[in-house]
Every structure is written in C-alpha cells, then in structure tokens.
Structure 1
Amino acid sequence: MGLPMPSPYKHPKTGVYYLRQRVPADLKDKARGRIVALPISGTLKSFTVGDGVKASLETKDPTEAKARHRDADAALSKFWEAMRNGPLSLTQKEVAERAGLVYKFFADTFEDDAEVPELWERSQRINATVLKKAKLGKRPTYPLTVTQRDILEPRFGGFVDKLLIDTGEQVYQESRDKLLVAVAEALQQSTGTILKRADGDYSPDAIRQRYPEYVPIEKPQTAPRKTEERSGAKLDLYNLLDHKFKNKGKAKTHRDYRSEIDKFVKFIGHSDAERITKANVREWRDALIAQGLSLKTINDKRLTAIKAVLAHGVAEFSLTQNVADGIRDKRQQAAPNGSKGYSLEQAKTILQATFGGASKELDPHYQRAVFWVPWICAYTGLRVSEITQLQGKNVRDEDGHPIFVITPEDGSTKSGKAWTTGIHPHLIEMGILDMFKAVGDGPAFYRAYPSGTDLQKISGKHRAKESASRVGDWVTATLGETAPGGRPNHAWRHTFTTVTRPADLNKEARDYMLGSRSTTDAREAYGDWPPSVVCREIEKVPRFNVKETEYRPTLKVMKPKPISESQAQLKKTKSGKLVLSPRPPIREHS
C-alpha cells in the first residue's frame, strides 16, 4: 500500500506546506504519467503522477495548510479508487442521475437570487447555439462524432469533468459522450429555471422530478483479490479475468472484457463464477436482444467475454463447466443491403477531395491523416488504425523495395502479429516516402507520446484511433459521403479486395498483407514474405486516376505530449458556494 500522509509537509527552506503521497503499490504502473486534479485553495490544480504525488498547498499558515491538505487528500483518494475500479459503462438511467446532480446544483444555488439575470440569458443563448451547431437531433447517436465532441467539449466538457471528480468515477468514451449531451441539456434547463425564479415564478419545479435520484454505483469488488485459487474460496469473475490476462493478451481486450463483465454482474447481481447458471446467461442474452442490439454485437462482444472468462476458469482452476458455452443469439442474420465497400466512383470522389485539404484548425498530424490515410487505405486495404499508428521507422527500403512494417508494438494489430505490405508506386509518386522522411521516425498521423511510453498499455483511447475517427468523420460529415455499413474507414478494406480480384493478386499474398491470414490452413504460416514479393503483388493494384493538384499537407511535427486528462476549474459564488465552470479550450502549441 502507499504510505499515507496524515498531515501536510513543511518545506524546510521556503516554509510552504505540501501534500506528499506515494502511489499505492497496486497502481504503480497504471498511474505513472497520469494527470490528477486536486482542489487547492478553491481551484483545481493539475499534477503529474510519478512515483508519488507532490502538490504545493500554496500557504505557509499551518491551520490553512491542514484544511487544504484534508480537501486535496480526499480528492486524491477518490482518484486512486477510480483507477482501481476502472472505467464504467453507464446506463441511460445512470447518465440521467448524474445530469440531475448538475441541474439541482445550479437550480438550488441560484434559487433565491439569480444575481445578474442578463448573464443567464446570454448563457442560455450561447448554450442553444452550441447545441444546434452540434446537430444532435432528437435522439443523438452514440458514440458522438469527433466533430460533435469538438463543438460540445469547450462549452460543456468542464462540467462533465467536475461531475466525474465529484462522483469519483472514470467512464468509457461512449458514456462520457452521453454525459456530455445530458449535462448540456441539464445546464440549459437549469438556466431556464433560474430565469423563472428571477421573474418571480416559484411554482413547483416539474423539471427536477424528471431526474432520478443519484445512487452511487456499487462495485462488485473495490480491489482485486488474489488470483490464486484457495481451498473453499469462490471463483470470482474478476479474479479469473485478471489471471487470464496476467502478462499476456492485449490491454484493450482486457478493458473491453471487464466492461462486459461489469454489465453482466450488474444484471445477475453477483460475480461468483460457481453460482452462474445457464439460465443466467440465457436471460442475459434475451435481455440484450430486447435492447435491440445486433446479432454480431451480442455474439461477438457481449457473450464472448463471459464465455472466455468462464472457459479460463475451467482450464486453469476448479470451475466444473462453462455454462455459457453453446448459448448464442440464433436469430437469422439480416441479408446484406448494398455493397460492403465504396464504389469506384465513391472512392475517386473521396480521393479527389483530399487535394482540397483539411481545416487549418486541425493540428498538423490530423491534416496529414485526412490527406494520406484514404490513399493508403485505397492502395493497401489495411485497417485504418494500423495506418494511423504508422511511424517513420515503419517505412523501409529493402534492396530497392519500399514497404510498410505493421507491428503491434506501435499500438495494436487485430491478430497481435506483425507483417509487411508493399508501397504502391502511385503513393511514391505522390511523395509519401518524402513525407515520412520529413516527419522523422515518430508517428506521422498523431501527436507523439513521451519517449519510453508503452503504446500497447495506454489507458484509454490511443491517439491513433482518434486520428482514424477524424478521417471517418471527414468522409461522412465534411464530404457527406454515405459510408457502406456505416463504417467509412472499414469500407476501404472491402473496396481494396474488390478492385484487386480482377487484378489477379495472389490470394495468399493479399490475405497476408491485409493482416487476415487463414486460421484453418496451418501451411499459410510457413515461410517468409520477402519485400520483393509483397511489392510485386501491390504493384498489380490498378491506379485510382483523379485530377491531382500540387497540394500536400503540412510537414510540421508537434512536440510529444504526455497522457493527460481534461480538468475543470472551481469557482465560488458570492455566498461562497462552489460553481461548476467549463474549462477553457485546449490549444496546442508546437
């Protein structure tokens, strides 16, 4: 355990008091490099976690130092606990409960006196403008697009940050998106209530009744128990999960499985693997079907996590059977509707549009992604996140054969393996090798993490995936192209396969370069793939002939940026009550 610091530490030279606390042992690797916000003298101050946290209390007065230390220490304890619990997926009701906290805070704080009604009227107009610009519709679709987040975050994101600090929670991106919209609406509604009070209308608050009472989420366990099996001890789903991924497997898959187990445990009411029955799993499946989830989501995501963890209990421990085995959503798969990939005309329209450039408000890495990623997709068929995680060191020339080297060390690959693919001559003519040479050995399409960061163990969304999302949003929101299957980036993978079939690419070579080799024919794992072979095959891909211009995106590279969390600032009303306030927009500087 970390060493508790029950009292503030006085600096021997300056006389300024500090909070000093070592990182708890179970969080040592997970917490390093994270940003924690602590309340110091009425405002939130951000600190980077190393071996510990050292925070100036900004006072030499011992009485004031004790009060500030107490508040900061409580916030830090919440931070450690939230990291242990991991991110949550919130239900619709849970989102409403938390948005209700924001509504009630403002409605209660300014019930007696709106102070300056004109400011609330102005705030109401600005809120309405931002919400309209985000184009959410009557029932927003989640996750939000990157464009929608960019519009909503500067105005409402700080309120969400402060809310999550107060509840001591970390949430997945989709749940944060839902909170962002719900909090924005709650703020707008509370503003309306405050203005009613300012006009002398103190009739019963009907809006307040719409929000359910906030109930903190009870975790199945607040800290992992030992994963070793003990005589007579129950087998816990979370223990089995952690043991399964101990020193192996992808961190992202571990997080995804934990999220699915959280939902299942909440549904059945416990996490004891030995008490789970087939009826529990069938009821879970039926509940998911009733929610309207797709067959693929239920079978390949929700149920797979439960099956895999129970199977591990059977293989490694004394669990007698995998009760989830054989339970599937057996509804008939919907018939395909239209092409899975872009038509040749659509592909050319998108590629042509890249020469129009991206918004100059995007940082240089995103501008490069909008231009180059669609072209690389078209000429390789690689998964988009495998492209956006490319670094200069992955672009090589082997005996005159230029290749991309795709490796899981740069973030992830679906198979967990590395492979190579040739670089099409058209890409070379367009200057792709020059671009990678100019940006150096680091990432071309996202802002680098500090040196030494393990890109496979990043908590949260890898920046390469954020870059990929921006490319998809550019296609659908900016260009207005309809994405086959609603997946603007994945559609290129089907387009590549379609256009290469008439070109007679060797199927085994194509599957190898796509990173999707057969799992049924062991012989396909034999031997190596020389650069001369992958380049020979990629050169067979027909050119996408569009009207090119001289435009190429900026080659500017921004300095590495640590993993950080957005934070809010705390302000007070004249009566001394804390007010939630949005953080200012984050501006990048090279």
Structure 2
Amino acid sequence: MERVKDHRYLYRREGFLYFRRGVPQDARAAFGGRHEVWVALETGDVREARHLMVKHLAEFDNCLSTVRRTKSPVAVQKQSRVPLRIEIEEAVREVLAERLARARTDYFMPEDRAAGRELVAILTHQESMIARGLDLEANAEVPLATEWAAAAIIERYGWELPTSHPDYWFLLQFVAQSQKEAVQQQRAAINGSPLQTSDDRFSREQYQSDQERRRARENNGPVSLIGLFDDYAKERKPAPATVKAYRRQVAAFVAFIGHDDAKQIQFADVVAWKQHLLTVPNAKGTVRTAKTVGETYLSALKTALKWGVENAKLKSNPAEQVRVRAPRPLKLRSKSLSDSEALTILRATLTAPPARLSAERAFARRWVPWLCAYTGRRVDEMAQLRAEDVQKRDGVWAVRITPEAGGQKNNEARIVALHPHLIEQGFVSEVSKRTGSLFYDPSRHRGGGDGNRQSKKVGQHLAEWVRDLGIVGVAPNHGWRHRFKTLAKRHRLDPTIADYIQGHAPRTEGEHYGDIEPSVTLAEIERLPAYKLSTIG
C-alpha cells in the first residue's frame, strides 16, 4: 500500500484508494481494539476519493473526541508528551511486527525465477534508499515512506514530538532501521534463506521485554468494570436476556459513581448505590424493592467484580459483603393459581380472539396456557416451541424443550409427554398443519440482540391478557409452575419425575444418573385429571 502524495490519510493499493489512519493508543478501545482504521473508498480517482474521505475523517474525529471527553479513567485523557526512547523503540517494534504479519498475508511468492529476481531487486533498491537517506554525508533526503511512518506513530500514540526535537531524529533512524529489517526478512523469505535479525534491537528477547512492560502497565493501569462483565459473559455464556439485564445494571453503577475503573471502587461506593436504589424512584416513578436491588442490581455488580478477582484483575471484591436487609414481605396468598383462576384462564382460551390479533398470537392464547397447565414449564419455553419439537417418541406424543429453540435456564434439552387431554383437544393435529415457530412469526422480528427474543414478547402478551381476565395478586404466567407443584403433591406424582417435567435441577447427585423416557413422564402426567371447564359457574 502506497501513500498518495500530499494527502495524509489517502493510500493506493492495486489501483484502488483507501482511507487509512492510525488509532491513538488511548482510544483503541473505542475502535474495537484496532491499531489502524482502513476503509476501501472503491475508487481509483483521487479527486473523488478526497470527497468520500471527508465522511470517514469526520466519523473518526467525532469518535476520538467523544473518547477524550469522557470522565472515565479507563479512557485516558490525551496528554501530549515527549516519549522516552525506550517507548519509541517499543512502538516501532510493534509496528514492524504488524507490517511483517501483513506481508505474510498480502504478498505472494513469485511464480517463477524471473519474477523472484525482479521482486528482490525492488526490495534491494528500497533498502539502499533507506540507508542513503540516513547517511548524513550522502546529504540525501529521508525517504517519504520513513517520514510518513514516523508521523503515523506519533499520531497513533499521541506524542508531542516536533521535527525540531532531537528525539525526532532518533525516531526517524529507528523507523528506517525497522524498514530495512522488514525488507531484509521479506527478501530472505523469497530466497528461501533463514530469517535472521540483523539488528539486536529487533531480536526476540526485545519483543519479550516489550510484552513484559506492557503487562506491567496493564496491571498498574485502570480496569474497566464493564469490560470485566463482558469478559465474564464471554466465558460463562449466560442467557442473552441475563447478559442484557446485568450489563445494564453494571452500566448504571458506572454512571452513578462517575467512572469505569474497577480498581477505584470502594465499599462505600457500593453502599451509597444501594441506598440510592432503595430510596430514589426509578423512571416509572416507583421505588425499587429490596429484592430487586439485591437480586438484580447488586447481583450484577458482584458477578462482574467476582470475575475480576477470580482472574487476577482485582485484589478484592468491594461489593462482596454488601447486603440488602428488608422485612419479610406479607404473604397474603399462595403463589399458585387457584382452581378457579386456572379454569378461568383455560376457559378464556376457547373464546374467539379479537380480529386484530395476529394468527400466531391467537394460536398462543389457545395453546400455551394449556401446555403450561399440564407441564408446569416456563411460559417462555412453551412460547418458543417449533412444529418439529412436537414429535412422537417410542409411541408417545411429546414436546422437545431444547435450548436450540431459544433461551432456556439450564441449557438442557428435555422431552416431556403431552397430556392425553391436549391430544384430545386437537393440539397435535393443529401443529401438523404448521412449520417452524408455532407462536410467533420470526419474519416480524424488529432486530436487536438475543436478549430481545420474540418468545419473551409472547409471554408478556399472555400476562397482560390474563390480567385483563381479572387474575390479580399472583404472577399470571409463573403461577402455572407453582400450580403444577400443588397438583403434583395433591395427586402424588413422583417428585423426581415431576422435577424433570418442570425443568428443575435434580436434587441429589444420584438423580443425575440415567434417562427419563417419555413413557415415564406420561405415566406421571396421566395422574393429573383433565380440566373440566363445565365446572365453572
């Protein structure tokens, strides 16, 4: 890639022009960790490329200025300064390593000896030009490529190094030496010669020393709290909805304390945040409950900080001992749907849906409550069922509840038999007429991350519908899970099988062993009597 004369960020490669600009070290996080930004302008005309480049320059500068205005100590404010010579050497070695890495992918071995000799001649000429430019007695100008490389390094690291400064000449010399080193290694590769370092300042030992210094700087520098959570999420891979919610709470804490350096967080900061959450109304004008603060907000913060301690990023977790103490809430009723409430909901599933309701939502109203009533599964799990998940296994009609279909708390596929009453009502027959997702249309997804699942929206719609039926004082969806447990006790279902049907984890190590076949779940589900809707009223 060759820079276009008199155009600082414009480069030409194989006839096409590119916008190329080095990213200062203090802003790389905002640019996805990149050291440089390259954008193909898809034109070979310099005049056209100049106009196209204006947009990318503005975007680059806006991003850079945003980073440098932030109060976060992780995004270090630009402090123009003269670098130490060891910093100059370290920076040039880093750029050399990047150049050689690009050469291994950008340059191909010549097809024949003639092409090889021509390429070697070009590299030899480049080497002589670099050497001549540094020879003061030769009175030759420093090659533009060397000056451009030096200018890019100065900008990349945010240095203050005018051309009149003595260390600018040191930088030019070392950049030139690195260019010679690159040429020599490329020429050796073409000739099939061993790759040797002609300057000890580019030896493997020097690169190892650079890495050690970088690690030391990282250990002494700030640690992003949000970065800790993101690293935890990459390793643990929790449900997308959990990642979305927890990251939002961590970001809320960062906004509250005014910085994103986990090393600076104090026990008092966490306590102050807790008190703020418990006393200051949220955007909806309501005060958060102690349970919400403890199990959602503080839990997210503790998770991120705990991961930092476990991975040697932090020495301690300042949130570990923070607790939310609150009086036990008054329990005015059971968490389970009552017999009459269950019958009210199930009876409503048989009524004609509003004309404006989509076919998928109407299908969800008709069948999801029944599926939850006879399995005790989470509404979200039922709402993400696909036609292929309703299948016959060993002569038993069942539903396959699998994380492949969407979010699932324990990430474990389970096959649960369908209650005969569901088959009698025609559920299997109706499903056989459909393909793909049963209760929502994937083509209507409005985008967003995995945390914005359509099945979750189905559950929210059903909850609102149940509330409109007059069911209050109990969770409209989760109440089915508590009710299944009530019925399991009432009709003496095997506790191990009942837990499996509902998706609860085994209670003992021994219960982890062996498979629970569909016929086994059917035998227990059949203990539940069919709902008789005629008993209402």
Provide the TM-score with structure 2 as the length reference.
0.58
SS in 2 for 1:517: coil
Q: Residue 277 in 1 paired to residue 272 in 2?
A: no
Report deviation, 1:339. 2.1
- CA distance in 2 between partners of 1:259 and 1:228 (Å): 31
- CA distance in 1 between partners of 2:355 and 2:52 (Å): 43
Report deviation, 1:28. 13
Q: Residue 298 in 1 paired to residue 293 in 2?
A: yes
SS in 1 for 2:234: coil
Q: Residue 230 in 1 paired to residue 224 in 2?
A: no
- Percent of residue pairs bearing the same amino acid type: 31
Q: Mind listing any 5+ residue stretches in structure 2 that lack a counterpart?
A: 1-8, 11-18, 20-27, 33-38, 42-46, 67-213, 281-286
- CA distance in 1 between partners of 2:215 and 2:402 (Å): 31
Report deviation, 1:70. 7.8
The one-letter code matched in structure 2 to 1:523 is G
Report deviation, 1:229. 8.9
Counterpart for residue 546 of structure 1: 533
The one-letter code matched in structure 1 to 2:512 is A
- CA, structure 1 residues 308+460, in 2 after alignment: closer, same or farther (shift >3 Å)? closer
Give a deviation string over 1:214-245, Cα, whole Å, max 9, x none.
xxxxxxxxxxxx99993322221122112112
- CA distance in 1 between partners of 2:506 and 2:374 (Å): 22
- CA distance in 2 between partners of 1:512 and 1:28 (Å): 47
The one-letter code matched in structure 2 to 1:286 is Q
Counterpart for residue 120 of structure 2: none
SS in 2 for 1:333: coil
SS in 2 for 1:283: helix
Query: Which of 354, 378, 385 pairs up with 1:390?
Result: 385
Report deviation, 1:399. 1.1
- CA, structure 1 residues 379+229, in 2 after alignment: closer, same or farther (shift >3 Å)? farther
Q: Residue 320 in 1 paired to residue 311 in 2?
A: no
Q: Residue 471 in 1 paired to residue 462 in 2?
A: yes
Report deviation, 1:361. 1.3
Contact 2:244 2:451 in 1 (8 A): no
Contact 1:342 1:484 in 2 (8 A): no
Counterpart for residue 462 of structure 1: 453
Contact 1:341 1:484 in 2 (8 A): no
Report deviation, 1:357. 2.2
The one-letter code matched in structure 2 to 1:476 is R
- CA distance in 2 between partners of 1:298 and 1:229 (Å): 36
Query: Which of 237, 241, 248 pairs up with 2:229?
Result: 241
The one-letter code matched in structure 1 to 2:251 is D
Counterpart mapping for 1:90-239 below 5 A: 230-239=218-227
- CA distance in 2 between partners of 1:369 and 1:229 (Å): 56
- CA, structure 1 residues 228+506, in 2 after alignment: closer, same or farther (shift >3 Å)? farther
Counterpart for residue 248 of structure 2: 259
SS in 2 for 1:484: coil
Give a deviation string over 1:243-286, Cα, whole Å, max 9, x none.
11225413322222210011101111111111111111111111
Q: Residue 524 in 1 paired to residue 519 in 2?
A: no
Q: Residue 311 in 1 paired to residue 306 in 2?
A: yes
Counterpart mapping for 1:392-471 below 5 A: 392-440=387-435, 442-449=436-443, 458-471=449-462
Report deviation, 1:474. 1.5
Report deviation, 1:460. 4.6
- CA, structure 1 residues 431+77, in 2 after alignment: closer, same or farther (shift >3 Å)? farther
RMSD: 4.0
Report deviation, 1:314. 0.7
Contact 2:242 2:451 in 1 (8 A): no
SS in 2 for 1:375: helix
Counterpart for residue 268 of structure 1: 257
Contact 1:244 1:309 in 2 (8 A): yes
Report deviation, 1:392. 1.2
The one-letter code matched in structure 2 to 1:240 is L
Runs of 4+ deviating beyond 4 Å: 25-29, 65-79, 226-229
Report deviation, 1:27. 12
Counterpart mapping for 1:570-581 below 5 A: none
- CA distance in 2 between partners of 1:228 and 1:418 (Å): 45
Contact 1:264 1:284 in 2 (8 A): yes
The one-letter code matched in structure 2 to 1:232 is N
Contact 1:508 1:517 in 2 (8 A): no
Give a deviation string over 1:462-489, Cα, whole Å, max 9, x none.
1111111111111112x2x22333x211
- CA, structure 1 residues 68+314, in 2 after alignment: closer, same or farther (shift >3 Å)? closer
Give a deviation string over 1:400-459, Cα, whole Å, max 9, x none.
11111111221111222222222100001011111221112x110010259xx9x9x944
- CA distance in 1 between partners of 2:340 and 2:349 (Å): 15
Contact 2:219 2:313 in 1 (8 A): no
- CA, structure 1 residues 233+401, in 2 after alignment: closer, same or farther (shift >3 Å)? same
Of the two structures, which has the highest relative contact order with CA contacts closer than 8 Å and spacing of 6 or more?
Answer: 1
- CA distance in 2 between partners of 1:429 and 1:468 (Å): 25
Counterpart for residue 335 of structure 2: 340
- CA, structure 1 residues 269+430, in 2 after alignment: closer, same or farther (shift >3 Å)? same
Counterpart for residue 115 of structure 2: none
- CA distance in 1 between partners of 2:298 and 2:353 (Å): 40
- CA distance in 2 between partners of 1:498 and 1:461 (Å): 32
- CA distance in 2 between partners of 1:413 and 1:266 (Å): 31
- CA distance in 1 between partners of 2:498 and 2:336 (Å): 17
Report deviation, 1:68. 11
- CA distance in 2 between partners of 1:289 and 1:534 (Å): 44
Counterpart for residue 286 of structure 1: 275
The one-letter code matched in structure 2 to 1:447 is D
- CA, structure 1 residues 397+373, in 2 after alignment: closer, same or farther (shift >3 Å)? same
- CA distance in 1 between partners of 2:62 and 2:430 (Å): 45
Q: Residue 508 in 1 paired to residue 496 in 2?
A: yes
Contact 2:361 2:439 in 1 (8 A): yes
Report deviation, 1:360. 2.1
- CA distance in 2 between partners of 1:355 and 1:375 (Å): 11
- CA, structure 1 residues 53+372, in 2 after alignment: closer, same or farther (shift >3 Å)? farther
- Report the structure number with the largest CA radius of gyration: 2
Give a deviation string over 1:330-371, Cα, whole Å, max 9, x none.
112202111212211111111111111211212111110011
- CA, structure 1 residues 231+544, in 2 after alignment: closer, same or farther (shift >3 Å)? same
- CA distance in 2 between partners of 1:492 and 1:66 (Å): 64
Counterpart for residue 356 of structure 2: 361
Provide the TM-score with structure 1 as the length reference.
0.53
SS in 1 for 2:331: coil
- CA, structure 1 residues 544+73, in 2 after alignment: closer, same or farther (shift >3 Å)? farther
SS in 2 for 1:420: strand
Q: Mind listing any 5+ residue stretches in structure 1 that lack a counterpart?
A: 1-5, 8-19, 30-51, 55-61, 83-225, 549-590
Contact 1:404 1:422 in 2 (8 A): yes
- CA, structure 1 residues 381+281, in 2 after alignment: closer, same or farther (shift >3 Å)? same
- CA, structure 1 residues 491+233, in 2 after alignment: closer, same or farther (shift >3 Å)? same
Contact 1:365 1:445 in 2 (8 A): yes
- CA, structure 1 residues 434+68, in 2 after alignment: closer, same or farther (shift >3 Å)? farther
Q: Residue 483 in 1 paired to residue 477 in 2?
A: no
Contact 1:341 1:494 in 2 (8 A): yes
- CA distance in 2 between partners of 1:27 and 1:392 (Å): 43
- CA distance in 1 between partners of 2:266 and 2:362 (Å): 52
- CA, structure 1 residues 275+406, in 2 after alignment: closer, same or farther (shift >3 Å)? same
Contact 1:357 1:371 in 2 (8 A): no
